Structures are given as C-alpha cells and as structure tokens.
C-alpha cells in the first residue's frame, strides 16, 4: 500500500537531519521520553473497570448539566437585543 501522507519539501539551506537533532538534543530527549511513555502505556488499560464506570457516570451527569444550560440559555439574549426571538 502506498503512503499517502503529504511530505513538506525541504529547503536546500536546511541543515541535515542528523545535525539538527544534535543541535536540539534537549527537545529530542523530551520527544523520546514522551514516545517511551506512550509505548509503555500501549495495550494496557490505565483504569480499572470500576474507575471507568465512575468516570462515565460523572461525565454523563456533567453533560446533562451542560445540555440543560445550553437549552436554558438558548432563548435568552446575550447582550441587549442580540439573539432575541422575533
């Protein structure tokens, strides 16, 4: 299968990738650390089933409140006459 991701053209005056990595070694270390953390967490469930159920219950309650507020604010003008129903 062909890779369809776009690749940005590299200007001729841009330093070689190896030299650039050596120049920005702190950034490279940070990226490597982040990637290692992601790889370590891959294929591992970070929440117990009970924690996941609790979080889903809390999210449902929050979304109900958000929906209720959105419905309540839907008919109110924000400033002056703007948004008023005719």
pLDDT at residue 22 tops 60:
yes
- pTM of this structure: 0.39
**Given this model, what pLDDT does residue 25 score?**
86
pLDDT of residue 65: 93
For 51-69, b/e burial (b = at least 16 CB within 10 A) is: eeeeeeeeeeeeeeeeeee
Q: Domain spans of the chain?
A: 17-74
Please give the residue that has the higher pLDDT: either 11 or 76.
Answer: 76
Note whether 79 and 72 are within 8 A (CB).
Answer: no
- Whether the per-residue pLDDT at 79 is higher than 80: the answer is no
Q: Is 67 or 41 the better-scoring residue by pLDDT?
A: 67
Range 51-66 average pLDDT: 95
The stretch 33-59 carries a mean pLDDT of 89
């Amino acid at each position: 299968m062909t890779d369809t991701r776009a690749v940005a053209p590299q200007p001729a005056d841009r330093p070689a990738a190896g030299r650039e990595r050596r120049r920005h070694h702190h950034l490279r270390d940070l990226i490597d650390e982040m990637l290692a953390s992601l790889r370590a967490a891959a294929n591992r469930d970070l929440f117990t089933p009970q924690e996941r159920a609790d979080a889903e219950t809390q999210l449902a309650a929050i979304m109900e409140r958000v929906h209720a507020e959105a419905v309540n604010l839907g008919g109110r003008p924000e400033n002056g006459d703007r948004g008023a129903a005719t």
